[in-house]
C-alpha cells in the first residue's frame, strides 16, 4: 500500500478558488504538523493558510513530498505545473497526487523521477495486488463510517474520531480508502479503483490484526442506497468486519448526490440495512452513533436537528464540526 513521506509541501498551482484546492486544504487542516508551506502560481485564488515558499526554500526546510493537491475540470494535468514539479523532484522530493491523470504518464515527470531516484504516487490508481477477502476474524477493534449518501462526512468523522481518541490516550489509527484520505494519512488505498472481487480483501489488508484494545477507524465510501456506488460500500463493510458503525447523514440534502430521481433513505432503515450487511462477517456489529453534517443549517437549526435525530433514533448524535465527537468516543471506550 501507498506510504508517503512527510513533511509535505502543498502545491495549489493555479487553482481558481478554494474548492479547486480542496485536497491541499484538507491535508493542511488535518495534518498541519506535516506541512512546511505552499506553492502558488500566478493567478491562484486559493490559500491553505501555510506560508508561500519556493520549491527550493521548502526543500531547505526538509520537505520530503510535494502534494499536488489541486484539481481542475476533468482532473487533468496542466503544463503550467511542470516546472515546479520537476524542480521538486530535482530537490529530492517525491510527488503525490489524486488526479485522474497519472503523473507517472507525464514523460518529463517520469524521466525526472527516474533520473533523481524519486517516487511518484498516483494515489487514485493502486498498483498493488490484493487478495480475495476471507471473512476470517482478526484481533483488534474496527469502526467503519457509513452514510445515507456519498460525500456526506465519512472521512471528516473518521478523522475527528482519531484525533479525539488519541487525545485520550486510546490506540487508534485512521485507515484511508479515498485519495484525499490517503494523502492525509500518508498511507492507504483508493478503494474505488480496486477491482470489485478484491475490495473486501484489500480492506482486510488495510486493517490487519492488531492489539485487542486498538481501534482502526476505516474511512467509508459511497452508500448502500446509492445506485452508483453501493458495490464499493458493500465490499468495505464485509472487509472491515466492523465492531462499530457510525451513520453519517446530512438532514437538508434533497436527494442522492448526482441522482435527483433517488430520495435519501429513511435514516433508521439505512442503519438497519448497514448493520445487517455488517453481520455477515461480524455477527456482533452494531451502529453506535449518528454523525450529522449540519453545515447547511444555522446554529439553532443544527441544534434542533441533532436533538430530534437523537430522540428519534436513540443513539448519540453529533456534528463533528459543531459539537465534536466526544460522546461517540465515550461509547467506544466502554466497548469490550
Residue 226: which CATH number?
3.40.50.300
Radius of gyration (C-alpha) of the chain in whole angstroms: 20
| Three-state secondary-structure class, residue 35 | strand
pLDDT, residue 74, reads 60
Asked if residue 1 has pLDDT above 80, the reply is no
- Location of C-alpha cell 447523514: 249
Asked if residue 219 has pLDDT above 90, the reply is yes
Residues 295 and 160 in one domain: yes
Q: Which domain holds residue 230?
A: 141-334
pLDDT digits (tens, 9 = 90+) for 157-184: 999 999 999 999 999 999 999 989 999 9
Residues 206 and 324 in one domain: yes
Domain boundary among 69, 89, 122: 122
- Location of C-alpha cell 516546472: 83
- Torsion of Cα atoms, 26 then 32 then 37 then 39, to 10°: -10
Residues 224 and 157 in one domain: yes
Cell of 215: 481501534
**Residue 234 included in any domain:** yes
Residues 58 and 102 in one domain: yes
Percentage of the residues of the chain whose pLDDT score is greater than 70 = 98
Cell of 300: 439553532
Pairing of strands 171-175, 214-218: parallel
The domain that holds 11 is classified in CATH as 3.40.50.720
**Residue 129 included in any domain:** no
Domain boundary among 122, 155, 181: 122
**Residue 135 included in any domain:** no
Q: Could you give the residue ranges of the DSSP H alpha helices within 168-298? A: 179-185, 199-206, 230-240, 267-278
User: Taking the model in full, what pTM does it have?
Assistant: 0.90
**Residue 130 included in any domain:** no
Can you spell out the DSSP letters for 125-170?
A: S--S--PPP-----SSEEEEEEESSSSSSHHHHHHHHHHHHHHTT-
CA quadruple 106, 112, 117, 121: dihedral positive or negative?
negative
Residues 11 and 69 in one domain: yes
The rounded distance, in Å, linking the Cα atoms of 197 and 218 is 19
Reported for 325-328, long-range contacts at CB under 8 A and 24+ positions apart, including other chains, are 325/157, 325/160, 325/161, 325/164, 325/291, 326/164, 327/289, 328/161, 328/164, 328/246, 328/288, 328/289, 328/291
**Residue 133 included in any domain:** no
pLDDT, residue 126, reads 80
The rounded distance, in Å, linking the Cα atoms of 120 and 2 is 10
Mean pLDDT for 199-225 is 97
The rounded distance, in Å, linking the Cα atoms of 154 and 314 is 20
Cis peptide before 40 (omega within 30 of 0): no
Domain boundary among 122, 153, 183: 122
Residues 156 and 299 in one domain: yes
Cell of 192: 474505488
| Three-state secondary-structure class, residue 279 | coil
Residues 190 and 290 in one domain: yes
**Residue 205 included in any domain:** yes
Asked if residue 27 has pLDDT above 80, the reply is yes
Instruction: Report how far Cα 260 is from the mean position of its chain's Cα atoms.
Output: 25
| Three-state secondary-structure class, residue 199 | helix
pLDDT, residue 168, reads 97
Percentage of the residues of the chain whose pLDDT score is greater than 90 = 89
Mean pLDDT for 149-156 is 95
For residues 319-328, one letter each, b for 16 or more C-beta atoms within 10 angstroms of the residue's C-beta and e for the rest, the string is: bbbebebeeb
**Residue 68 included in any domain:** yes
Cell of 10: 502543498
Residues 223 and 326 in one domain: yes
Asked if residue 72 has pLDDT above 70, the reply is no
Per-residue pLDDT band for 19 (boundaries 50, 70, 90) equals confident
Residues 75 and 204 in one domain: no
Per-residue pLDDT band for 73 (boundaries 50, 70, 90) equals low
Structural domains in the chain (count): 2
Q: Which strand (E) or helix (H) includes residue 174? A: strand 171-175
Maximum distance among all Cα pairs of the chain, rounded to whole angstroms: 61
**Residue 127 included in any domain:** no
Mean pLDDT for 230-257 is 96
pLDDT, residue 261, reads 95
Residues 148 and 233 in one domain: yes
The rounded distance, in Å, linking the Cα atoms of 98 and 209 is 28
Instruction: Report how far Cα 2 is from the mean position of its chain's Cα atoms.
Output: 14
First to last CA, the chain: 30
Mean pLDDT for 8-22 is 93
pLDDT digits (tens, 9 = 90+) for 225-240: 999 999 999 999 999 9
Whether 24 and 11 have beta carbons less than 8 Å apart is answered as yes
| Three-state secondary-structure class, residue 173 | strand
Residues 154 and 90 in one domain: no
Residues 229 and 319 in one domain: yes
Amino acid at each position: 500500500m501507498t506510504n508517503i513521506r512527510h513533511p509535505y509541501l502543498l502545491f495549489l498551482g493555479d487553482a481558481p478558488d478554494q474548492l479547486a484546492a480542496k485536497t491541499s486544504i484538507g491535508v493542511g487542516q488535518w495534518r498541519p504538523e506535516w506541512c512546511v508551506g505552499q506553492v502558488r502560481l500566478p493567478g491562484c485564488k486559493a490559500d491553505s493558510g501555510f506560508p508561500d515558499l519556493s520549491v527550493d526554500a521548502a526543500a531547505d526546510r526538509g520537505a520530503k513530498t510535494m502534494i499536488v493537491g489541486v484539481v481542475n475540470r476533468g482532473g487533468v494535468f496542466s503544463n503550467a505545473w511542470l516546472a515546479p514539479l520537476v524542480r521538486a523532484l530535482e530537490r529530492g522530493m517525491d510527488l503525490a497526487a489524486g488526479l485522474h491523470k497519472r503523473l507517472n504518464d507525464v514523460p518529463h515527470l517520469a524521466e525526472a523521477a527516474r533520473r533523481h531516484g524519486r517516487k511518484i504516487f498516483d494515489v487514485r490508481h493502486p498498483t498493488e495486488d490484493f487478495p480475495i477477502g476471507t471473512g476470517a476474524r482478526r484481533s483488534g477493534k474496527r469502526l467503519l463510517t457509513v452514510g445515507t449518501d456519498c460525500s456526506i462526512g465519512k472521512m471528516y468523522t473518521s478523522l475527528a474520531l482519531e484525533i479525539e481518541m488519541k487525545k485520550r490516550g486510546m490506540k487508534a489509527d485512521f485507515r484511508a480508502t479515498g485519495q484525499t484520505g490517503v494523502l492525509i494519512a500518508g498511507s492507504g488505498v483508493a478503494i474505488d479503483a480496486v477491482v470489485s472481487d478484491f475490495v473486501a480483501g484489500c480492506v482486510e489488508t488495510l486493517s490487519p490484526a492488531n492489539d485487542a484494545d486498538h481501534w482502526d477507524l476505516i474511512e467509508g465510501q459511497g452508500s448502500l442506497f446509492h445506485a452508483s456506488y453501493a458495490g464499493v460500500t458493500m465490499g468495505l463493510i464485509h472487509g472491515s468486519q466492523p465492531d462499530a458503525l457510525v451513520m453519517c447523514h446530512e438532514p437538508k440534502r434533497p436527494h442522492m448526490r448526482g441522482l435527483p430521481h433517488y430520495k435519501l433513505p429513511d435514516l433508521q432503515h439505512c442503519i438497519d440495512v448497514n448493520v445487517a450487511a455488517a453481520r455477515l462477517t461480524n455477527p456482533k456489529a452494531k451502529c453506535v452513533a449518528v454523525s450529522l453534517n449540519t453545515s447547511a443549517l444555522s446554529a439553532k437549526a443544527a441544534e434542533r436537528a441533532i436533538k430530534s435525530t437523537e430522540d428519534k433514533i436513540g443513539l448519540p448524535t453529533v456534528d463533528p464540526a459543531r459539537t465534536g465527537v466526544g460522546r461517540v468516543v465515550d461509547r467506544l471506550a466502554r466497548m469490550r
